[in-house]
Amino acid sequence: MNDITVVPVPARVEPASGVSFTFSADAVISSDSAGVGAYLASALRAATEFALPIVEGGPQSAISLRLDGDSGDSGDFGDFGDEGYELVVDAERVVVRARTEAGLFYGVQTLLQLLPAANGPWTVPGGRIVDAPRFAYRGAMLDVSRHFFGVEVVERFIDAISRYKMNVLHLHLSDDQGWRIAIEKWPELATVGGASQVGGGAGGCFSQADYARIVDYAAARFVTVVPEIDMPGHTNAALHAYPELNADGVAPAAYTGVDVGFSTLAVGRDVTYDFIRDVLTEVAALTPGPYLHIGGDEAQSTSTEDYLAFLDRVQPIVGELGKTVVGWHQIGPARTVSGRVAQYWGHGPAPDEDVLAAVAQGDRLVLSPADRVYLDMKYTRETPIGLDWAGLVTTRTAYDWDPDRLIPGAMVLGIEAPLWTETVATVAEIDLLTFPRLPAVAELAWSPQDAREWNDFRARLAAHGPRWTLLGIGFHPDPEVF
């Protein structure tokens, strides 16, 4: 295991020199988790064409996935927690052990990366890996509002992030250009508010069944969906569908541009809060995860007084629904509520006053600095799509920083890489901007700081190019990596 190309880099690797295990056609998978066992078998069958029957529980087999309350002897590494795992490979078998199914799933991702990308022989280097994540929240965001992407595309994105042990999918479901989730009590959000996108075109909207399918697909890969209903700004699509939510009661035209800051809900009207309660109630009922994201950014058309009063009314609604408030860091000056999470998207050498206000109130932070992890930023001036208002973001830029040093005094819950889609309209464009930067952010969020080093990372990452090609994932050939 000395030369493994696993991403994220594991916390601890103990090679066994001269030892390896080779899968044979008669190999059997023994698993304490039906779901994780089936996932592994499906991945291995596609590559090896072996039968790989699964036995739930039972004796140790060629491949054993074990749920173990003690999770092995972690030695001087210490307690590796609910998402950690131990992977042991000797000449006779491969054993993954973890406390939870999520830990088993992450161990399986490491196992799959230890195997060749194609063609065999299907040999795993011998040794032991003990691994656990640095941060609890390891996320990526897909903006389906600026350009709409259907269920299959979202599922493909979930597959991509989960292979790198990311466990949060933030879906940006509403914005000026389009509303993307059906709400039964406000049906024209879907039929009218969802019928546009950047540059024109048909737009689209998830039915509640579509959204439930996404949530279930994510859960099977231990990914939590965080839905965002952006407010009080970024609301033109809702105002277009329901003019009573606008201060003058007049429906604005559908918006297909990319400017921001011009829209606002009528924060002084009771109907606005009836609307918000109805929307959040339906979204919460469809979302088993703990978080509801209420946006809160770029509300330039809302006065400061109205903005703070608005959040004082909206944040408690989230709590009443049994969820935790997440908002962009502009919510920082508003009075906090229990467990609140502020998502920092600033850029530059110093954090602004809003995020410092959030820190001062004890909010936990999800870090999404735009000049580091915004996947919609261009790699270079020549990148054919993307933006550059926060600068150019190479793979090294995304990788080579320490989250604990970004904002003094912050309680960092985790990292999230947002992909805004003003310039992104196809799956190929998603791929181009996501890879190879997404694995860089994944390692930043998972691996211990002292285990990360750029030159080592880029060598490991380069080996993933052939894997992406086999999966049909296009990527930017970053000259610093490939």
Assign residue 181 a region: left if phi > 0, alpha if psi is -120 to 50, beta otherwise?
A: beta
Q: Residue 337, SS3?
A: coil
Q: Give 222's contacts (C-beta < 8 A, 6+ positions apart).
A: 101, 102, 105, 106, 162, 167
298 is catalytic: yes
What b/e sequence results for 222-243 when a residue is b if at least 16 CB atoms lie within 10 Å of its CB, and e otherwise? bbbbbbbbbbbbbbbbbbbbbe
Q: How far apart are CA 61 and CA 64, in angstroms?
A: 6
For residue 249, the one-letter residue type is G
Q: How far, CA to CA in Å, does 389 sit from each of 114, 156, 243, 374?
A: 39, 28, 32, 11
With tokens 């060598």, the residue in question is 459
C-alpha closest to that of 443 among 4, 9, 3, 1: 9
C-alpha closest to that of 416 among 448, 454, 381, 375: 375
Q: Are strands 137-143 and 168-172 parallel, antiparallel or unpaired?
A: parallel
C-alpha closest to that of 296 among 271, 315, 320: 315
C-alpha closest to that of 168 among 103, 223, 227, 219: 223
Q: How far apart are CA 162 and CA 82, in angstroms?
A: 17
Catalytic residue (one of 155, 188, 244, 298)? 298
Q: How far, CA to CA in Å, does 130 sit from each of 12, 13, 68, 161, 439?
A: 5, 7, 14, 21, 20
Q: How far apart are CA 80 and CA 269, in angstroms?
A: 50
Active-site positions? 298
